[in-house]
Amino acid sequence: MTADGGPELVQLLTPEGERVHHPEYDVDLTPEELRGLYRDLVLVRRIDAEATALQRQGELGLWAQLLGQEAAQVGSGRALRPDDYAFPTYREHGVAWTRGVQPLSLLGLFRGVTNGGWDPRERNFALYTIVIGDQCLHAVGYAMGIQRDGAEQAVICYFGDGATSQGDVNEAFVFSAVYNAPVVFFCQNNQWAISEPLERQTRIPLYQRAQGFGFPGIRVDGNDVLAVLAVTQAALAAAREGQGPTLIEAFTYRMGAHTTSDDPTRYRVAADLEAWKLKDPIERVKVHLARTGMADAAFFSSVEAEAEELAVHLRDGCRALPEPPPTSMFDHVYAEPHPLVSAERAEFERYHAQFAGGAS
């Protein structure tokens, strides 16, 4: 488990912005597509920074930052087709962006105005899952459904390095292998599960676990958007073609705190952070674009301006997010009427009406 990811790491763009080649994986992107990825990365980082700021200002109760993981999320998210389906954890704001989920709707859960935030069917993007690992089985089940419908679609399931210890995640590996389900397991190994380093979860590199379950595992430079795109595209294609699951380990680093409630200075050293800063996922794309002449200063400043606009939109929109009416907690508990819930709602209304009456 070398700190740099080792020789098995698939890379197409070095931290210095140099385009390199890999015997198995490649992408052939137009300059426009490359600029599009850069724009995604910058905007996603901006969404994250703005949400972090909103938490600091008390507008959000919590925020799970993705800082450092932009390429892993944008690269894998952009590999998906619209009819593929993604199952996120709570940190996949970048994937949400690539799916076209409104950034503002990501804030609701963290502001405490909803336990959901969007309709999963609209963008084939499941609701965030906070309980570690649960969604991996859902992803496999969804993939089993695709098989039964005879559809050419794939599912991608996101989870962290820490999650690989959970029973549900390992059961997901087993089910997907046994049924040859069209699912890609996308593990963002950001080296930490809150305060616990990778060594607390595994003795071997995570991608090697796949072999024991009977499907391929790949380790990709998670800070290289091109490599992530290439590797994920290949895995999704294999899934759609009936070749079953793949585990992708995106080797990256959590540059921020676990969440805004966390204080990483208690458990990790600044030196690691410094080393990973040099592998920034955005800087290398910028250097590459500039050096090859695929983008000019005007392009970069237009992306900056767009990011600024998006930040303003989030700031204003967050404060304006409607607070749910109190009785909404009784809505949708069941799909069909339930007498206990109805009775409690009536009692709730009776109780609050007393005060309304008293005040008038």
Partner 1 sequence: MAVTTMAKALNAALRRALESDDRVLLMGEDIGKLGGVFRITDGLQKDFGESRVIDSPLAESGILGTAVGLAMRGFRPVVEIQFDGFVYPAFDQIVSQVAKHHARSSGATRMPITIRIPYGGGIGAVEHHSESPEAYFAHTAGLRVISPSNPFDAFVMLQQAVASDDPVVFLEPKRRYWDKGEVDVDADLASAMSPYRARILRDGTSATVACYGPMVRTCLEAATAAETDGVSLEVIDLRSVSPLDVPTVVASVRRTGRLVVVHEASVFLGVGAELAARVTEECFYSLEAPVLRVGGYHTPYPPSKLEEDYLPDLDRVLDAVDRALAF
Ligand X SMILES: Cc1ncc(C[n+]2csc(CCOP(=O)(O)OP(=O)(O)O)c2C)c(N)n1
Q: Which does 301 bind (CB under 5 to 8 A by kind): partner 1, ligand X, Mg ion, none?
A: none
Residue of 278, 333, 346, 353 interacting with partner 1 (CB under 8 A): 333
Give the residue, chosen from 192, 207, 215, 251, that forms a contact with ligand X under the rule CB under 6 A.
Answer: 192
Segment near partner 1 (CB under 8 A); pick from 80-88, 99-107, 110-118, 240-248: 110-118
By CB under 8 A, residue 174 contacts partner 1: no
Residues 174 and 104 sit within 8 Å (Cβ to Cβ) = no
215 touching ligand X, by CB under 6 A: no
| Identity of the residue, 184 or 257, whose beta carbon is nearer to ligand X in the bound complex | 257
**Which of these is catalytic: 39, 219, 254, 284?**
254
| Interior angle at CA 262, CA 257 and CA 267, nearest 5 | 80
Asked if 188 and 158 touch (Cβ cutoff 8 Å), the reply is: yes
- The C-alpha torsion from 330 through 58 and 320 to 66, rounded to 10°, is -90
**Length of the chain, in residues:** 360
Stretch in the footprint of partner 1 (CB under 8 A) among 28-36, 65-73, 103-111, 295-303? 103-111
Measured from the CB atom, the residue of 72 and 104 that comes closer to ligand X is 72
User: Could you say whether residue 131 binds partner 1 (CB under 8 A)?
Assistant: yes
200 is catalytic: no
The interface partner of residue 91, options being partner 1, ligand X, Mg ion, none and the CB cut-off 5 to 8 Å by kind, is: ligand X
Residue 274 contacts partner 1 per CB under 8 A: no
- Give the C-alpha separation, 353 to 350, whole Å: 5
The answer to whether residue 313 is catalytic is no
195 binds, among Mg ion, ligand X, partner 1, none (CB under 5 to 8 A by kind): partner 1
What's the token pair of residue 92? 């996949």
Residue 87, SS3 per DSSP = strand
How many Å apart are CA 118 and CA 58, to the nearest integer?
23
The H or E element that residue 155 is part of is strand 155-160
Site for ligand X in 146-165 (CB under 6 A): 160-163
Based on the shown chain and the rule CB under 5 A, indicate whether residue 161 belongs to the binding site for Mg ion. Answer: yes
**254 sits near ligand X (criterion: CB under 6 A):** yes
Q: What is the C-alpha separation between 310 and 328, in angstroms, rounded? A: 30
* Catalytic (active site) residue 142: no
Name the burial class of residue 67, with classes exposed (0-12), middle (13-18) and buried (19+) by CB atoms within 10 angstroms of its CB: middle
Q: Which of 10, 80, 156, 163 binds partner 1 (CB under 8 A)?
A: 163
Contact between 190 and Mg ion (CB under 5 A)? yes
- Could you tell me which of 194, 213, 70 has the C-alpha nearest to residue 132? 194
Distance set, CA 46 to CA 49, 135, 199, 325 (Å) = 5, 27, 31, 31
* Sole binder of partner 1 in the list 297, 340, 356, 359 (CB under 8 A): 340
Residue 185's SS3 state is strand
| 333 contact, one of Mg ion, ligand X, partner 1, none, CB 5-8 Å limit per kind | partner 1
CA-based nearest residue to 133, from 170, 169, 186, 173:
169
39, 45, 258, 288: which is the annotated catalytic residue? 258
Contacts with ligand X, residue ranges (CB under 6 A): 91, 130-132, 160-163, 190, 192-194, 254, 258
Q: Please list the active-site residues.
A: 254, 258, 267
